[in-house]
Structure formats: structure tokens, C-alpha cells
Structure 1
Amino acid sequence: MKRYTKPIHLQELIPHRRADSSLALINVVFLLLLFLVVSGTLRPPLPDGFDWAETTQGEGASSIQGGLVLTLDGGVWVDGSRVEREELNKYLAEAARSSDRLTVQVDKRARMEFVAALAKQARSSGLTALTLVTVQADGP
């Protein structure tokens, strides 16, 4: 029986400099900051004192991007700023050109007359589907 041998060369271990642990911490802080900046700009702020309408049943999903906010006093907000009636008509006309749906975030203290007036105005602009965004109530 024939034996084959091969020389093995082991590399010399060179002591490495210990990794600085603060670099990982800096990365985590930077990613957290980046997340907070992005998440803060995705949705325009709601008006002061806005209180979400609640629902106890039903399912659905809707995007609030490009939607309206209906406040307690019947004011309508778009992208974080209040709009007047003429501006609202222009906005609804543009929204009707791109889609037949509109999303509205409703304050739970808003009077039904304001919701009905906004729905009527949206319908006259050519929008056929109106989605009211609410939050799930805690329970019956």
C-alpha cells in the first residue's frame, strides 16, 4: 500500500485589532433616525383636536394617501392644510379624473350634515365611492 503525503502549511495568526463596538451603535442610531424621518413624512399631520370616528363592526382597508380630513367644525383638510370651498371643488374634480374613489378621515364629533354635504359635493364632482376611515372601537 502506497502512502501519499502532502506538506501542510499553517498560516501565522496575526492578532487583529479589536472591533470598535461604538460603530454598531452609530449604525443603529442612524437607521432609527432615518426611520423616524421617513415615517414622519409619509402622512400629513391631522388637525389639532382631531378625534377618530369609531366603528364596532365591518371590515375593510383603505389608503389615506391623498385623502381628505373632515373636522369637528366641518372644515376640510388636504395634505395637512385647511382648504376652502373653491379649492375643495378643484381638488375633487382632479381626484375624479384620476379615480372614482375618495377616502375621508372623519372626526367622530363631526355632525352628519357635514359628512352628507361632503358626500354630495364629491358625488357631483364625479366620485362614485366614498370611504370613511375609522378606528376599531374597544368593544361593545
Structure 2
Amino acid sequence: MKRFSKPIHLPELIKGPKRDSSLALINVVFLLLVFLLVSGTLRPPMPNEFDWAETTSDNGGGTLQGSLVLDRTGGIWLGAERLSDPEIDKLLADLAAGGGKLSLQVDRRAQMSSVSAVAKRAKESGLKTLSLITVEAAGQ
């Protein structure tokens, strides 16, 4: 009995280019940048020299997003823009039509007459709820 043998040639595996691990690092840095940009815009901007009013009671339900800011001079701000009287009246009318809730961030140096004037305007426009947003007093 005769045997025949035939050599088998296995091709060598050709290694491709090394995988660059900098792509994963670029992805992480990009995601971190997006996170920082988003988290920096979550809190609305405040007028210059705004100082929060303090409270000792915690039973409110206002939100910072979309809230108005009452500064020490009695001016009303939405974000970084001071509103005129017609703009305030239009905004209050829109809020009254959309559910009737308003949150107001109050400066500690604002006069009570300014706060009551805003409350009166809100009531006249048909708002059902006015929440004053303050910070908790230290040591209370």
C-alpha cells in the first residue's frame, strides 16, 4: 500500500494596524463636555448682585425653571432679560391661561411693596398660585 503525502500550507495571519485607544478617550472627553454644557444651563441666570431672601419654613412647591426674578429695585427678570410692564402683563396672562402657577425668586433687599405689587398683578391676571422661592436661613 502506497501512501501519498501532500504538504498543507497554512497562510500566516496578517496582523492589521494596531487599534488606537485614543478614540475611546476622545469619546469620553466629548461626553464630559456635553455634560458640563448641559449642567451649566440648568439653573437660569440671575441679575447682577442678586442676594436670595431667606426663610425658615419649607412648605412651598415652586420650581426654578421658568420662574421670574424680583430684584432689589423692584425689577422683574426672566432669565437674563429684564421685562417691561407690557411683557410682564402678557407673560402673566399666558401663565394664567396655562394653569395659573407662578414661581418668583425674591432678592433679600427687595421691598415688601414690590413683592405685594407683583402678587396683586398676578391675582388680577387670574393666576391661582404664587410661590416665592427663597433659601433656608442659616442656623434655623
TM-score, scaled relative to structure 1: 0.79
Task: Describe how 1:46-125 pairs up with structure 2 within 5 A.
Answer: 46-125=46-125
Cα deviation, residue 34, structure 1: 0.3
TM-score, scaled relative to structure 2: 0.79
**What fraction of aligned residue pairs are identical, expressed as a percent?**
54
Structure 1 unmatched ranges of 5 or more: 1-14
Matches of 1:16 and 1:115 in 2, distance apart? 71
* Corresponding pairs, count: 128
In structure 2, the residue matched to 1:3 is none
Cα deviation, residue 100, structure 1: 1.4
Cα deviation, residue 61, structure 1: 3.4
Once the two structures are superposed, residues 2-49 of structure 1 have per-residue CA deviations (whole angstroms, 9 ceiling, x without a partner) of xxxxxxxxxxxxx99876554443233212210121123334311111
Matches of 2:60 and 2:24 in 1, distance apart? 41
- Secondary structure of the corresponding residue to residue 42 of structure 1: coil
- Secondary structure of the corresponding residue to residue 46 of structure 1: coil
**Larger Cα-atom Rg:** 2
Matches of 1:66 and 1:16 in 2, distance apart? 55
Contact 2:77 2:83 in 1 (8 A): yes
Contact 2:44 2:64 in 1 (8 A): no
1:119/1:32 Cα in 2 relative to 1: closer, same or farther (>3 Å)? same
1:29/1:137 Cα in 2 relative to 1: closer, same or farther (>3 Å)? farther
Structure 2 unmatched ranges of 5 or more: 1-14
